[in-house]
Structure 1
């Protein structure tokens, strides 16, 4: 789907305020944001938000945020070419190692070593190539949890490219339910599952939250991994508690360092206890037990 860049200019102090406000307003939407210095001498900075879908509605929200800051600045649009930048960028990405896992594209099959748990990902339109700190952090944490707890039934909630579901299936040889609200992501996930020869273990389903009937037949889970965003994870805490078995583990990521304590508090309120936090590239991966 083509993207539109919504952008505006301001001085550094105002640009930082605008960026922070937009970051909070659009955190649940997962829309990329950027701030760039255009002219140091004249203090010109540019704030950009990359939108798809209903761009008019998104622009109206941006203007509402600006009005709330008392900074009613003009917002400009730039239509971006419809290019699958993730697939294109994979051509230049190096393999990523996280514990025993090696996440790689087709162009790096020859770099697999004996003893590697290799996960080949052609991410297409979906997020999650293993190169982001949250995905790599999850892989490292999952290896430790599986080694200690030997789960038998797992859920990858918000699976994206299915890298975590595939890794779990290949590491633990257990059934994994991989769900996402985005049908495009689920199609890409299914392709990656077949590519990694774990179709017998990983089931991919388009499911918004825990309301899909698939969960009634598969829960309770021994292990749930969810690499999403902090606010959705906090809202999901009660449902996570209902779908994890007593003594089971959850691994959460997509969480900035500054959001860690709030996420943990939401889960402690649902009778989870914090086991460990892994810090990586400004993001955290959190292990909790019920």
Structure 2
């Protein structure tokens, strides 16, 4: 996180409220209602009592006293959670606090951790340090976890890719994982949010990834000169939302090669059929499928 986004300790506030597990999963994904705030709150979900798996707690960290509008928005996202508890955090770094809840993850060969958990990393793991930030994709949401698992699975099954695009890159984690699995491939990471691309560049430096090894682009879908220049791709990853996936199906199909694979995530199981139909219209059929909670991860393949 760059200095211009770093809140001062004296300006840090925390909003705590209870919710269901389903609400926690939705809130810690991409929530357009929260993205409207500048800056949006950083959210941490945790399960206080393992004996009560449906009772979760959300902590929202913000710069300065939270507005009535933000509190009202948070309450609509967890309507059964009661009144939130609002407190000022004295002499505390809210990002460090939030990172303490982001436990390390082992997903296939990948080990994803924050600086607070940089010890005890397995020697055989492909490690990435990804901090809590204003970009989606620390690895803790089931869609990101599923995409990492799908990438690991495809490589183990012998898939080989030479030109890879991560659309909706967030923190850059999926682009980093692709580079680790297919080190000779060209990699491109794009996101509609310039902040996400800045965070991806910072994460590249943190993880020792050379600046020229991944092309970065701010793009609405695949509408950017850098994407057109590098197309056609033989692997395209898109962990976004069902509506945008359906809308982007024709433009995704236009930038992939014959025989290419597309990994789709961010859709709910109830939205899967509509997404599959949108891509089937362009000759893309199921190659592999995973599911984490309510979130399917689809690998589609175009015929050679």
TM-score for both structures, normalised by structure 2: 0.69
Select the residue among 168, 173, 183 that pairs with 1:158. Answer: 168
2:143 counterpart residue number: 134
1:203 corresponds in structure 2 to 215
Q: How far apart, in 1, do the equivalents of 2:87 and 2:175 lie?
A: 32
1:247 to 259, 262, 268: 259
Deviation track 1:199-224 (CA, whole Å, cap 9, x = no partner) reads 24222221122221111210001101
Q: Which structure 2 residue ranges, 5 or more long, are not aligned?
A: 6-11, 16-22, 36-59, 71-85
Contact 1:86 1:123 in 2 (8 A): yes
User: Take 1:253 and 1:90, find their aligned partners in 2: how far apart are those partners?
Assistant: 24
**Structure 2 vs 1, CA of residues 87 and 165 (structure 1 numbering), >3 Å: closer, same or farther?**
farther
Distance 2:279 2:175 in 1: 23
CA distance in 1, matches of 2:276, 2:120: 38
User: Partner residue of 2:54?
Assistant: none
Distance 1:207 1:81 in 2: 37
1:280 matched to 2:292? The reply is yes
**Higher mean C-alpha displacement, 212-221 vs 103-112:** 103-112
- Counterpart residue number, 1:75: none
Aligned-partner SS, 2:188: strand
- Secondary structure of residue in 2 paired with 1:251: strand
Q: Distance in 1 between matches of 2:96 and 2:300?
A: 34
Q: 1:226 aligns with which of 214, 226, 238?
A: 238
Report the counterpart of residue 38 of structure 1 in structure 2: none
Is there any run of 5+ residues in structure 1 with no aligned partner, and where? Answer: 6-18, 33-49, 59-78
Q: In 2, distance between residues paired with 1:80 and 1:160? A: 29
Task: From the superposition, tell whether residues 123 and 179 of structure 1 become closer, same or farther in structure 2 (CA, over 3 Å).
Answer: farther
Q: CA deviation at 1:267?
A: 0.5
Change (3 A) 1:274 1:87: farther
Match status 1:289 vs 2:301: yes
Provide runs of 4+ in structure 1 moved above 6 Å: 79-86
Aligned length: 240
Structure 1 residue 191 and structure 2 residue 202: aligned? yes
User: Considering only aligned residues, what root-mean-square deviation do their CA atoms show, in Å?
Assistant: 3.5
Q: Distance in 1 between matches of 2:96 and 2:103?
A: 13
In structure 1, the partner of 2:227 is 215
Once residues 236 and 30 of structure 1 are traced to their aligned partners in structure 2, the CA distance between those partners, rounded to angstroms, is: 22
Deviation at 1:88, TM superposition (A): 3.7
**What residue in structure 1 maps to residue 191 of structure 2?**
180
1:37-82 deviation line (CA, Å, top 9, x unaligned):
xxxxxxxxxxxxx9x9xx9xx9xxxxxxxxxxxxxxxxxxxx9989
Partner Cα distance (1:275, 1:84) in 2: 45
Greater alpha carbon shift after TM alignment, 103-112 vs 279-288: 103-112
Q: Please state how far the C-alpha of 1:29 moved relative to its aligned partner.
A: 3.2
Computing the radius of gyration over CA atoms, which structure comes out larger, 1 or 2? 1
Aligned-pair distance for 1:106? 1.2
> Secondary structure, in 3 states, of the residue corresponding to 1:188?
helix
